[in-house]
Structure formats: C-alpha cells, structure tokens
C-alpha cells in the first residue's frame, strides 16, 4: 500500500504543478457556472438536477485531457521502464495514477461546485436527497471517465493520440443508445443499450440510487484499470 500511495502522491504533486490542471478546472467551473446561472434564472427551482447532464457531458470532454499524460508521458520520457523495474506492481502504478487523477478531480472540480449549493440554500430550501445522490453519481461517472482515460494513456506515448482515443470511446458510450435502437431488441441491441452512459445516470439526479447503475460505473472502472494493467505487463516483457 505504501507504493500505491507514493505513486498517488507523486501524481497529485504533478497535477498541482501543471498549468493544464488549472486551465481545465477553470474551464469546467466556468462552463458549469454559466449553465447553473441560466438554469437557476429560468427554472426558478432550488435544484441542480437541470444542469447535471450538462456537467457530465462537459466532464466527458475534459476527462481525456486530464488523464492523457499519466502513462503516455512516462513512456515518452523513458521513465516508465524505470518505474516498472522498481519494486512496484503494475496494478499499483495504474491504480495510483488513477487515484491521483480522481483526487485532483474531486478537489479542483467537484468541491468548488459546492458553492452552487450555498446559492441554492439562499435561493430556497433545496431537496438535499437528490443533491447528495447527484454528487455521488457525478463522482462515480467522473471516475469511470477518468479510468478510461488512464487505459488509453497506456496505449501510446503520444498524449494527443491518447486524448482522441479516450474521447472517441467516451463518445461511443454516450451515443451507444442510438446503435441499440438500430439493432432492435436482439442481443447486440441489449448490449449497446446497457453500455450507454445516458441510461445509467438519470436515477442519481432524481434522488434514487440504483444498484445496476452503481455496478455499471464500477465495472467500467475495474475493466479499464485491468486493461491498462495488462498493457503495462506486455511492456514489461518486451
């Protein structure tokens, strides 16, 4: 566990020393702030439900940028080989980098949005149940997006390529429902329907925690980190 937290702390320091993290966080907060203001003005409702889908879509676009350097940069600089020959397991490298990106995401992107909750409380008494489940859903799906970014970053030493591959996978997961509609009620249609992100976040924003949706997000995280670990293992034996 010591090695895992050492890698996590190393990634956190790299994030907070990088201007890109601040730029992406500022962009995320600026965009969500604009949509929050419009939603509050036009709906007159003390709720974040109206903007959560938009927030999740913004994160879908930003997550590959947050993670594209994690393993790709290590490969480009030649430091990944040194890391893999040190006394750490491949899964510790992958999970440590993932946790670093997740903690950065929560601290620099999610926590500042609690200011919106303060505004809602001043605007009118909000329903705290949907607020709590909305944040839980946002963190879960944000973590799943980041895990996909970690996987695509392991595939190449080019950060731009990692960004576009990660973005392409996330967009496919976002629009997979369209393929499900085309394929109908068969097995393929059912599979595409299940992997569609848009079918799994709605209950969180309505104040409902559905076990299927939680398992979906955790499955994406587990599969992505497992695949990234397998990629590192193949590099170890080259």
Closest CA to 15 of 89, 85, 107, 83: 107
* Banded model confidence at residue 224, pLDDT cuts 50, 70, 90: very high
Q: pLDDT band at residue 143, thresholds of 50, 70 and 90?
A: very high
Residue 222 banded pLDDT, cuts 50, 70, 90: very high
Q: pLDDT class for 41, splitting at 50, 70, 90?
A: low
Domain of residue 59 covers: 2-236
42-66 pLDDT per residue, tens: 666 555 666 777 788 888 888 888 8
Q: Is 164 exposed, middle or buried (0-12, 13-18, 19+ CB in 10 A)?
A: middle
Count up the domains in the chain and report the number. Answer: 1
Local confidence band at 206 (pLDDT 50, 70, 90 cut-offs): confident
Q: How confident is the model at residue 150 (pLDDT cuts 50, 70, 90)?
A: very high
Average pLDDT value for residue range 135-151: 91
pLDDT digits (tens, 9 = 90+) for 78-131: 666 666 666 777 778 888 889 999 999 998 888 888 887 787 777 767 777 778
Q: What is the pLDDT of residue 18?
A: 82
| DSSP H stretches of helix in the chain | 2-16, 19-43, 49-67, 72-77, 79-85, 90-105, 114-123, 128-155, 159-183, 187-195, 202-205, 211-236
């Amino acid at each position: 566990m010591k090695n895992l937290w050492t890698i996590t702390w190393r990634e956190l320091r790299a994030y907070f020393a990088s201007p890109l993290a601040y730029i992406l966080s500022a962009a995320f907060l600026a965009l969500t702030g604009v949509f929050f203001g419009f939603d509050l003005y036009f709906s007159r409702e003390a709720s974040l439900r109206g903007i959560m889908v938009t927030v999740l879509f913004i994160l879908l676009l930003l997550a590959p940028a947050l993670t594209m350097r994690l393993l790709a940069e290590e490969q480009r600089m030649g430091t990944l080989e040194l890391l893999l020959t040190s006394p750490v397991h491949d899964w510790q490298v992958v999970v440590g980098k993932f946790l670093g990106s997740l903690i950065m995401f929560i601290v620099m992107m999610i926590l500042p949005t609690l200011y919106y909750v303060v505004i809602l409380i001043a605007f009118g008494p909000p329903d705290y149940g949907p607020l709590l489940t909305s944040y839980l859903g946002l963190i879960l799906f944000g973590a799943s997006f980041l895990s996909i970014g970690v996987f695509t970053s392991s595939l190449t030493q080019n950060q731009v390529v990692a960004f576009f591959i990660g973005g392409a996978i996330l967009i496919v997961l976002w629009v997979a429902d369209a393929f499900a509609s085309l394929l109908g009620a068969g097995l393929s249609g059912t599979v595409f329907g299940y992997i569609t992100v848009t079918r799994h976040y709605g209950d969180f924003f309505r104040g409902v925690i559905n076990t299927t949706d939680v398992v979906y997000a955790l499955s994406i995280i587990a599969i992505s980190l497992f695949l990234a670990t397998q990629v590192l293992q193949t590099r170890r034996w080259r």
